[in-house]
Structure 1
Amino acid sequence: MLGLTAKGPAAAVLLLALSQTAVAKLDCSGSKPSDKTVYESGQHAYNIICGQDYAGADITAAFVDTFEACIALCDTTPGCIDVSFAQPGCWLKNKLNTPSLARDHVWTARRAALPAVTTLSCSEPGTDGTVYTAPGGAQFKVLCGKDYAGGDIKGLWVDSFTACLNTCETTAECIDVSYVNGACYLKNKLNALHDAGYVWTGVRVDAATSPGASAKPLSCDGKASDGIEHTTPSGTKYDIICGKEYPAGDLKTVGASTFEDCLAACDAEAACIDVSYLPGFCYLKQAKNGHLIDAAAVWTGVKKTSTGGTIPTPATPELFCEDGKPTQATFATANNRLYQIHCGADFTGGDLSTTTASSFAGCLKACDEATGCISVAYVGNMCYLKDRLRPKVTAGHVWSALFIGAPEPVESSSTAAPVVESTTTSAPSTPESTAPVSVDPTPTQGPTDTPPLPTDNVYIPEFDDSWTSTYTYEEATLPTYTGEPTPDPIPTPPIVKTCFIEPQSDTKFHLISPDMGYVIAKGNAPGFFSQPETEEEGKAMLEMVADFKPPVFAFETPEGAPEGVYDITYVSGDVKRYIAVAANGEMSFVAASTGAAGANGQSTTVFGVSCDGYMTVTLGGATKNWRATEAGKTTLEGAGEPSKDGIRLLPADAVPVNPNSVEAADKSAARLRRRAWDGMGQGGYAPRCPNTPNWVWPRVKQGARGYNPNGCGPANGFDFVPDWNFGGCCNNHDNCFDDCDNKTFERCNLEFLDCMVGACVRDYSRWYNSWLQPGCIGMAGFYFAAVSSWKGKEAFYSANSERCECFCSRPNTLLCNNNCVSIQSNPAHCGGCGRTCPRGTHCEGLGCVCDKHRCGNTCLDLNDNPRNCGRCGNVCASGFCYQGRCYEPPANPDRCYPREAFENGDFQRGNGDAWRLEGVSPELEGRIHLGVFDGAAADSYGAVVDIPPGVPSVGFSLTQDVYLCPNQNYELNFKFRKVSGPAYCFITATLAGRTVYTTSFVGIRVSGPSWTAAGPRQLGTFAVGGAVVQGPRFYLKAPFRMTMACVGSTTSEWSTIRFDEFTIAPIS
């Protein structure tokens, strides 16, 4: 049998167990003959458990005809180890949970070879990081949501994660497993560890030293190797640090396919004391500058000395930028020059020269040694030395420094401070102060706030502010819900109030007194059993009681009878008789109806019945109560409402044929189960849960009251008391109505009837009181009929509402608005019914989360929110936020003020802002770059196009809308250079459709670092018309287009052409 092996005594035990295997048809009904047997399916053995349901861990569900078919389906379903069967539903499970509730209608089968307890599972809290010991002693460390990719020996289907680990233990070379929902992958090698939420991994604790096993590679995926000490093959030790690095200090860069290769490269360099590794690239370092900074993608290795300490950095002042702030506001170099430090800023242009430096301090040292250098910009290892400055711009990746004089304070105002150069045509900028500046602190960043947006490369249009006329922004308060999620209250369906009997119908009934029992024919009159006077009479009565069948009566309506007044007939054998009442109240049986007029001093047409089944008699216009006497006769007395101790009516079909039968109750409940989806919650005359959606179950709700039995009196809507020792049965019935998990309305009433009849048999089976047994059983039937009526249904729903709630059996769903909804993803029911997520949020993991960004408890977009512009707490005084930067609208001008017409004409905005590329040939896609480094450019930025060899004719257009003043003369300038290559190219520039520049027929010649000027070109004036349209603030808007067309070369050489310094300036 698959999965079972045994030898010696164990084999004998196994054979004994299998000898008890069920071979007959499985049956958990009635006395549960199959309970605790073993069933052999052909592939596996299963333990049969009747009347228990082990909730959860469902793989799938199906409808099948038999319990055997359900087990066969489990055999052929990967991962299935357990089934729950409630005909016709079959639930397949892949996990062994502990027992939940006793459910008579559920039949369970569990794989006999598996333990009946919870197996090792990453679904259970606390499993991650634990060590599992396999049967042979091998130990495995459990890693949940991780995977060592590759290295597979083979894959197979198994029953559980535990079985997967046990298989690895007995498989040669296996040192690791990856388990995915029944699929088990055995591995003989540990590659890089990475995150994989759905994978459960078990790695042998001795994997690194097992014969034939591969050593575990270093990896910072999931910080797997963070904080460990690694020894290279040469014996050098390194501290491994994930997600951080020491900035700058680079010695050289080499290629490395693995982190281990990078450390080996450091071993080979005597000056190397530290490495920063990115996949494929290894940065060897000769200095650890400053402190570790966050760098999520970087893997760092710090070399240790032979005594265990890390190799110190040469003694140089620590200077670097961290979190946008300098470690020192000012820095004095060895040459006694003092610099002011600016982090995340650049004073663009003015480059004197470019060099490399392994540290920020080294860049300042280079400035000291360069004649005329007054500032530096440090990016990576590149050091840009400057001899003049333009206004400061934000550039998060740049560390800048300004020379401000000697370290000691100087009183003279003629200190060689830098001159700030203005590039605008309006009033000149105020030179920037050379004294240290006090900056307002960044607004406090909350733990749940969205980090600040990178806005270094965001530039607001200089001319077109039309977007401000339609500017809007949205905010949404993130809702906070408390308390456990609860389903909607169970709706109580409308209850139709019906009477015990409709007198106009031909329904048959019994007459019964709460004191004396059934009305019988006693001589020629209605009466009751009498107490026997001797033991012999009592024993005879006892034998008669066993076969007693109460008389059956019926109503008739004679012609001319008043409304609500009827005859009562009684059929004995073939003779039909009527109950007649004399004027003195005495009753007898007569052969015919007297009608309403009466006859011979008697009247038959005098009987009435209340809706609750109480009998009345109307004589001479007066309504009287009909009750029993102690002498075993009937009498009339009182008037008005029917008496609670009077004779009442019991429909003949209100009670099962044999009420004293548990088997009858079981069969009745079984019929109800077949009509219900789940066998309990959604079926019957009064279901606890709505009949839609499917698979809804009742349970006790949190904080519900306890059981509260109070008998069968008026509190439950019944106007009678337990006269026949029914008190305990009534209390049990109240508790049954309160039992959300196991009992239906019908089942409670059947158990109530069974309890009462049992009490009658128990208490009235002696010779001296057996004459009361029929009456007791009759009242049990009346009680049963009462609790099965609309009043019983009303009491049942009252208890159900106070105690119970309905829940969906699917995981992470809740019954809301009569639907089973996912409370992890439904924005209308997020984490609970009615817990709505407002616009701008969505539901994720039982709570509302912001669609875009979050500040405090507010959801918003940092790109356009004026109260949180670019970062939380950054308020724009103007009320305008543009892509994360505050915008101050210009004052309304009274006329058009001439100024430079291009935006970003020198490409200093590294993203090519304001420019458009059009008509790009396919061969040039991805080969045109705007705002890239150009060592020959005055400001180090420009545009470039790279033309591949062997291409046909190619081209593109560089366009921008420019803003001009009417009737103002302008001059065009731009420059270009052909760095290298044989491509034959021409340039044509147009403005508003006018051709304003074109190259000669010889095209663009190779000029290396030298620029060719395309100006100055006089453009004249412009007015509205043609391609020129009216723009904002009195400006005209006109399209500029520079088009380049090239003929490719058949050689293998590339061609490179660069452009820069586009300007259209106003002239007089």
Structure 2
Amino acid sequence: MRLQHVLALSASLGLASASKCKPVVPSNSTSSAFGSTGSSSVVVISASSAGSSTPASSESSSVSSASSISSSSASSSLATSVTSSSTTTGYGTTTGSSITTGSPSAVVSSSVSSISSTPESPKICQVYGAKDATPISSFATVADDTFLGCQAQCDAAAGCKSFSIEIQTGGACSLFGSSLAVGFTTGTSGPAVFFDSGCPEPVVEGPTIAKIQPTVTVPDIPTTPTAVVTFSDYTTPTITSSDSPPYTRTGALVTPTDDNEFISTYTWTEFPLTLNATGSPPVTTGIPQPSGTDLPELPCLITPGVAAPFTVLNQQFVPMVSTTGSVGPLLQPTEAPSAGDPLLDPANLKLPTFYLQAVDGADAYDLVYDHGSSPQYVAKASDGQVVFVDASTGPSVDGTGHVTTIFNIDCIGIMTITLGGTSYVWDTNGATSSIVAGDPASNGHYMKALPETMPTISEKLKNRKRTDEMYEKLMKFQKLREKRQYTPTNGDFSAPQCPSSPAGLVSKTKSTYDKGHGNLCDAMSKYWAYSPYDFGDACDVQSDCYDMCEGYSFQGCNAIFYASMLFTCSDEIGDEWWDVVSLIACGVQAVYYLGVAETSTGRDAYYRSLSNMCACFCSQPQDTCVYTGTTNFYCANLHSTDLDNCGGCGTQCGANSACKSGKCGCPQDQCGDTCLDLRSNPNNCGACGVVCDPHYCISGTCYKPTPGTCAPEQSVTNNMFSTYSPTWANWTVGAYTGTTLGTDLIFTPSLYTPASGQAAVYAIGVTMTNLPSGGFHGYIQQKNVKMCPGFNYDFKFNMGYVNQVNSANVDSSGNCYVRWLTGKPTVWSDNGGFQSSPNYNIGVSNPTYATFGPWTLNIVAGQTGVTKVGYNYYVDLTAVISCDTPVGSTGHFVITGVEMTPTTVVSKRSVFDAPPGFEEDVSPVERRADTNGTVVSGTYYPGELVEETYVKLPAIKGRSPLSF
């Protein structure tokens, strides 16, 4: 059905040709809100022949036509004058008019009484008269008193050639099976005005309407859903036998510093790869949408009570207003309203409101007119007329034949009327309305209620009054291309697409989708069938939007639906004053549709669409596992590292195993179906099948230990003092009595350049300032420096004189000396029984950077300062530092490059006692089982003497024990 336009015929009538005629609007008319008042006015209108139009004036008009009007002359003139008056009561308008012939300059032949035409004659449009044929169809009211509404009925009816409309009585429409050229007699008065089918819409000049214009562009909704969710074929998890690639070591092989300790702690493990549970396939059909008690309750469109006022809309969505003692539809004004009339601003038009009032003991409500003064009750009179009374009658007819407690309303605002068990229909006809017995379902005559404030679904959508404001807020709430979780802060908490558990579900198009089940207009067609406004395109957009599983939410689609309807109203209804009732009715119909969409009725349609189009899947990957029955779900990454769902739902790998890319595997390396570590396994050392003899593997390389004695090495760590934050690693500093650390004696990290052009080295800086008589004294110390008995050690270190810091000269006029000991003496000048080196001098008397030493020393068990732990021996290496001359000077130098290097010695290794259960004549490789046959993996006990010559080692920074 096309969108309808309102035609104001009472004020300006005439004949039109194929082009639109423009009758003159009287200049002396005045208007008031929702109606018009004014003095009588005479308007002369004219008709012209096909293809031309001559504007009428108040003085004269002429008509020239070869075939459209003929009786006794091929050319004649027709003039009519229209006397119109209108009376306004409340929000309704009753209008009457009389038509007389005659004009100061127009002559009408008295013999003109009929109209004849050849088949090719032009259409006859907008004339008074009478048709001698019986209408093929009649409508009490149609299309909100509009020309196009009646024309649309004619277009839709088979065989309709012409029609008439009674604009002043509310739009009664009659359809005829022949054109006006057959059996039509012209007249000079109404109430009916006649048109041939296909006549153009008349145009009447006057003020324009402030149309409802949405401000945001409606996004294009795809008609084809996104790609369906697919899954790869499921394979039942099994144990796969395979060999890991050979281990590749990076860097040099680091061997143990103490083979005795290494042998005592060496372990390795291996175990079979097992599968504890094979599990089951994942759910590939998805999880259904929330339903029932999982959803929040949505408010109804209308709730009874004075706090919930609403506007009543008739079957054609025209607001019902108060008339003299009654209620009737808002009528189209018959004269142009004056500029500033509220009627010209539909978006801000304040319509009268009603509310439902409960009556004790009754199963129906009173409908109360909410006009701010004493309440008036809508009542059915004995003759069916709708009237106002001052008090409720209850559900029974009172002595005057009135009854008020007859109204009910459902969740979507559809009003029903019952009295004594009988259903009634509230019908409108022109300016009047009546309540008569009948079933509204048979003719679609449902009265509807539109709340003054729409129901609150979201805190963000409260207090919506203007339709454009409502639209903008809804569009903002749409949040296109965002996740819609079951939370009020992220998406539609009123209609979530997916359940809240498991977390992270997203809606996707399922493989068996079926479009079109969520069309709200189709679902509500029995209530909306009599709408004069064709929202077909908007309904298609709404249906397509509901069908979208991704990117569009429930409230967002409702916003798009509403905006599409507003655009329809804006595009297809003009902005001239005679379109005002059409525009109001179209706008409130759009708001009503939106209100219904936001209730559970709309949400039911939304979920019908989702259930046929979509399912909920895990976001990434999409596989879903079911635990208890079919309702407890879990988003498992079957293709990753989930130990409980490795490749399948509930697939569990065996003890110590790991899940890798959805397959049970070994945590480190695998040889066949055995889990191990190629770095330390002596049966598979560095690669599967490589067996070590003896049975030791280090970093993927077979290793032969030499246990029995202390293994000598250069064991001073951080010997360049390069690690100094927050303190020097393994070094401590201090001062002796009489010297204050941090003031008299300062240690600083230094980057020392021995000479111009030479590379800088890390060092510890020593500064003693304002030397007193006897000097200042301090120390640096590293505890637990390893030394082996039976070896000589050459001790060396570097010292450098400092007279410049950061390119600035510094005072370095003092003389200092350093001596090294195997422990820290209590008094700086005493050796405390420790081994001591000579004093090494540095300072103004020896301004150099040089290597000092070697100081050769060795240790034996029981010596002062020597501590024995197992086969190893340790000392606390200490440098006592003194600066003493001249008095008042400053000593400034650095220490670096500390080394204690073992020298050549021959030693015998001791024999290890084999543990219980081992036989001494069994070769080392075979020593893997005790007397009970239990595998003892990873410990090797040699049983022979080993003689080895230790050669002089180069100066190195030290070796660290290997960690496993």
Q: Per chain length, whose mean CA-contact separation is higher, i.e. which structure has more relative contact order (CA < 8 Å, sep 6+)?
A: 2
- Shorter-chain TM-score category? 0.3 to 0.5
TM-score normalised per structure 2: 0.38
Tell me the TM-score normalised to structure 1 length. 0.35
